Structure 1
Amino acid sequence: MNSTPPEIVEIEDSHGTVKKIIKARKIRLNCKDQRQYLVIFKNQTAEKHQWLEEDTIPDGKLHLRRLRASRRAEKYHQ
């Protein structure tokens, strides 16, 4: 039994690399409130900024943590 291993296929992220999340908003979709975030991608123009749900943002938890920390810092310095 001489079988070759399966080919490794890399899935490329369709959005690119996240630079920063700058805003959050709540919208109502299918009778449910959902939160979306305005995402800025590296090396992209402003037209490429997108409103995305947390689970579709590459490294979303990390970037949301940074957004929340920056908001706390703004409140503290006011």
Structure 2
Amino acid sequence: MKNKVSDVRDHLVAMLESLGDDNTSLEKMAQTIERAKATSLVATTYIAAVKVELDAIELHHEVGRTTVAVDTQQGTPALPGRRQ
């Protein structure tokens, strides 16, 4: 993965496709299901973290500053549809 939300989405779609493969043995399907469960947990956590980041960026744009808990060393990215 390249650490982008689109990569997470692509990985999840690939997992769904492998779960829908009718030519998979039962043993392989059981392994795939366990892997899908783990992937789902990690993806859910990752997506929640990205949402928190986006909420922090939006708050920064609304009030003009960010809390010290948010790393702003690289600057605050622009939100789509908003001017900086």
Q: What is the TM-score of this pair, normalised by structure 2?
A: 0.31
Higher relative contact order (CA 8 A, sep 6+): 1
Q: What is the TM-score of this pair, normalised by structure 1?
A: 0.33
Higher helix share: 2
Higher strand share: 1
